Amino acid sequence: MGAVLMVGLGCEGFQIGRWKDAYNIQESDTFRSMTIQEVGGTKKTVMKGVEAILEMLPVVNKAVRTTQPASELVLALQCGGSDGYSGITANPALGAAVDILVAHGGTAILSETPEIYGAEHLLTRRAASKAVGEKLVARIKWWEDYTARNKMEMNNNPSPGNKLGGLTTILEKSLGAAAKGGTTALTAVYEYAEPVTEKGFVYMDTPGYDPVAATGQVAGGANVLAFTTGRGSAYGCKPTPSIKLATNSYIYTQMIDDMDINCGDIIDGVSIEAKGREIFEHVLRVASGEHTKSEALGYGDAEFVPWTIGATM
């Protein structure tokens, strides 16, 4: 994003003025804000908004591309519409790509806490410190209480699509989902949408619902997203490009306009390491400007979904 125009109504729960004060945000050549009530209605706000954008465009147009190291990449890890192949093809391959990224000094964010439930020990044993491991365990316990308060269960996660794809329990799903994180040390655990400051492999607590999880990761600083899918996903994520990794060759061919990488050929003999390198190189190309399939289709405008906790009143 080159510049931001933030528009509010004026009396809603989210107050722009209070937000600016809380985070010490100042109006600038690339940030303007206004409320419809203060400006004087919708038409006047549109006119004033257009004026603000026209004033910011010359500043934005001065931006130029510069070469950046791979260490500046913050890769969000997602899986949706998982199937029985997820844990043996796309997810381990993405984990191999994460290991390469971490070796280059970059960052990868694993999330979706309900979908690592039962496999959290695979992450805590990799924690860089006792405090990091305990923070992840604390988030698991919070989720157990959260679901109990809402008369739900943590072990009832697989969706109808997951079951049609061959997954029967949350443990099967979780073992596959955890594989996206590769093998390096877990350096930090973050709460939802918290700014990610540590390098390496990190964890962010989010729901399993893909749009909500990805929104938190992007808010935390993710600038590329890798999304594995076995049943097929058409998810987009502006402003962060979403790379689709098909877990099987059938769904890659069936949804060729949506899938970026086929990981189904691992079943035919392609190694996890080779596919990981292919994924990593594809991430580099996308970070350098190559469009993903979801970008080409225009997906992503409506997928900003913050996590709403509690009753809507």
- Per the omega criterion (within 30 degrees of 0), is the bond before 239 cis? yes
Q: What is the pLDDT of residue 206?
A: 97
Q: Strand pairing of 200-204 and 107-110?
A: parallel
pLDDT at position 167 over 80: no
pLDDT confidence band for 157 (50 / 70 / 90)? low
CA nearest to 205, candidates 137, 273, 272, 257: 137
| CB distance 231 to 161 below 8 Å | yes
In sequence order, the 6+-apart residues with CB closer than 8 A to the CB of 221 are: 74, 195, 196
Q: Residue 2 is encoded by which pair of tokens? A: 């080159």
Q: Which residue has the higher pLDDT, 12 or 82?
A: 12
Question: pTM to 2 decimals?
Answer: 0.92
What is the mean predicted confidence (pLDDT) over 237-260?
Answer: 96
Q: Is 50 exposed, middle or buried (0-12, 13-18, 19+ CB in 10 A)?
A: exposed
Task: Indicate if the alpha-carbon torsion angle 253, 178, 283, 234 is positive or negative.
Answer: positive
Please state, in angstroms and rounded to a whole number, the distance separating the CA atoms of residues 42 and 238.
25
What is the mean predicted confidence (pLDDT) over 230-242?
Answer: 93
Residue 128, classed as helix, strand or coil, is coil
Which DSSP string corresponds to 63-111? -------GGG-EEEEEE-S--TTTTTTHHHHHHHHHHHHHHTT-EEEE-
Q: What is the pLDDT of residue 312?
A: 77
Task: Report pLDDT digits (tens) over 3-13.
Answer: 999 999 999 98
272-287 and 90-103 helices cross at what angle (nearest 10)? 60
Please state, in angstroms and rounded to a whole number, the distance separating the CA atoms of residues 29 and 24.
16
Average pLDDT, the chain: 94
